[in-house]
Copies of this chain bind each other. A is one copy, B any other.
């Protein structure tokens, strides 16, 4: 997606160690128009797979997932990292290692909003190692739901996430694929 790539080149920062700072338009400050365009494009790519729900993880997945769900016309559920008091005691819970933070986080979804007949598209801001998305896949599977697609705004292909998800044999879409961030570079797949 050309406008996204241009924005990453203009305003993204390669902080080293594979960390891409996009805090000015995706992760802390958010450009709603760009995010809506990203959501529109992801929804277009998943238009024919019969999705009934978008699933993501708080926090930074919410903006792209909300906009994708808006364009698909389906609800979004975001997995919580801490169980709020409004959630029932019986939940779907999985552990997910956070690559960038070096910790393991819980991902929690209420069974009220993820059911066995659902067809789920998982959307996140980044596809890097794929661990967060695999955690969301486990939650959907625990609910008996079917994961029918995976979408990310930015893919860092050198971190192997696509290979880690390949066994699912479902469409994996990303809007900007970065193949190399060594030596301060930001190189997109052609």
- Once the chains bind, are B66 and A35 in contact (CB under 8 Å)? yes
A residues at B contact (CB < 8 Å):
13, 15, 19, 21, 23-25, 27-33, 35-36, 58-59, 62-63, 66-67, 69-70, 73, 75-78, 80, 84-87, 100-101, 109-110, 112-113
A-side binding surface: helix, strand, loop or mixed?
mixed
Interface centre among A13, A36, A63, A86 (most CB of B within 10 A): A86
Nearest Cβ on chain B to A125's Cβ, whole angstroms = 12
User: Which listed residue, B21, B59, B63, B109, touches A86 by the CB 8 Å rule?
Assistant: B21
Task: Please give me the 4 A-B residue pairs with the lowest Cβ-Cβ distance, nearest first.
Answer: A32-B70, A29-B113, A21-B86, A32-B69
- Once the chains bind, are B23 and A86 in contact (CB under 8 Å)? yes
**Contacts A/B (CB < 8 Å), 17 sampled:** A13-B86, A23-B86, A23-B113, A27-B84, A27-B86, A28-B87, A28-B110, A29-B112, A30-B66, A30-B77, A30-B78, A32-B76, A35-B70, A59-B59, A59-B78, A66-B67, A85-B100
